[in-house]
């Protein structure tokens, strides 16, 4: 993989620093629950389609008393897209060389009253440059207060950059996180954005927005976890959790762009599929 330019290095550094802060906060929650669970960090290397070294990443995973399975992955990869996949990526049809760096997080919780969550932000370059990502809440047992607080925090992050962002990106999440074969949403939404241009003078403001999405997630999700993690639940609640997770699996394997990107670019299989829950059911 070629050396990183200043923008690529800045994005990589940010995603890695955000990973460290999120993992520290999640471990702090485990300590509050009386658990000594901590993250295991597993590095991986990627070989590009050309046969040359193609970067890699670090897969962070923890199993605890609050977090049944949480993965926080960072990756920085580059090389050449396959001819077929290049046709679907902006700028790659002209030149198949690419670079991508990002953070991807999925948390599945033991208590059915604590929502699962997904957060991902990324920076990609071909002959074009752009940011993408977002965050969305996925409760098996939805709580209006949690939904409202999660959306309010993301709305505030969006409003600081562009008054149109929240309406646009929350609608995008509503449309994207949808299972058409079941005619149901994957969760209660959030925001989703992609191909937010990062060329020339657009890099700094859109990088700042991407950072603020990460900050918003780090602020609000731990609050929701602490609010719900000690609530009592029964077998019926656990059944609802397992059924919901089945829908989550269906979306990630059938429709998720990140899963497809990882598989098409030779990513680490365990990191790509870390979004899948440890237990699920189909009835």
Separation of alpha carbons 109 and 113, rounded Å? 9
Separation of alpha carbons 96 and 109, rounded Å? 39
Catalytic residue among 113, 118, 151, 206: 118
Closest alpha carbon to 210 in 137, 147, 157 = 157
Question: Exposed (0-12), middle (13-18) or buried (19+): which is 218, by Cβ within 10 Å?
Answer: middle
Closest alpha carbon to 271 in 4, 9, 11, 41 = 41
In 3-state terms, what secondary structure has residue 185? strand
Kindly report each contact of residues 57-61 with a partner whose C-beta sits within 8 Å and lies 24 or more positions away, as own/partner. 57/268, 57/271, 58/19, 59/268, 59/270, 59/271, 59/274, 60/19, 60/23, 61/274
CA distances from 31 to 22, 24, 57 (A): 14, 11, 27
Tokens of 264: 């098409």
113 flagged as catalytic: no
In 3-state terms, what secondary structure has residue 208? helix
- Rg, Å, the chain Cα set: 18
- Give the active site residues: 118
């Amino acid at each position: 993989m070629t050396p990183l330019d200043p923008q690529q290095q800045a994005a990589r550094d940010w995603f890695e620093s955000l990973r460290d802060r999120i993992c520290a906060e999640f471990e702090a929650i485990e300590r509050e629950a009386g658990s000594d669970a901590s993250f295991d960090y597993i590095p991986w290397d990627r070989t590009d389609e050309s046969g040359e070294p193609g970067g890699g990443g670090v897969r962070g995973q923890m199993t605890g008393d609050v977090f049944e399975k949480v993965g926080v992955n960072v990756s920085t990869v580059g090389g050449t897209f396959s001819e077929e996949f290049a046709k679907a990526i902006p700028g790659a049809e002209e030149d198949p060389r690419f670079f991508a760096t990002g953070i991807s997080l999925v948390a599945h919780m033991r208590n059915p009253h604590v929502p699962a969550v997904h957060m991902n932000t990324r920076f990609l370059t071909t002959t074009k440059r752009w940011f993408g990502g977002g965050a969305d809440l996925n409760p098996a047992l939805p709580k209006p207060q949690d939904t409202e607080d999660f959306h309010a925090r993301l709305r505030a992050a969006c409003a600081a950059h562009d008054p149109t962002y929240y309406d646009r990106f929350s609608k995008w999440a509503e449309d994207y996180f949808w299972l058409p074969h079941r005619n149901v949403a994957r969760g209660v939404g959030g925001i989703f954005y992609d191909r937010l241009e990062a060329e020339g003078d657009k890099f700094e403001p859109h990088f700042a927005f991407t950072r603020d999405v990460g900050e918003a997630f780090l602020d609000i999700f731990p609050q929701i976890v602490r609010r719900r993690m000690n609530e009592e639940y029964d077998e019926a609640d656990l059944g609802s959790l397992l059924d919901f997770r089945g829908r989550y699996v269906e979306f990630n394997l059938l429709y998720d762009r990140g899963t497809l990107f990882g598989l098409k670019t030779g990513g680490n299989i365990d990191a790509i599929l870390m979004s899948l829950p440890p237990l699920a059911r189909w009835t």
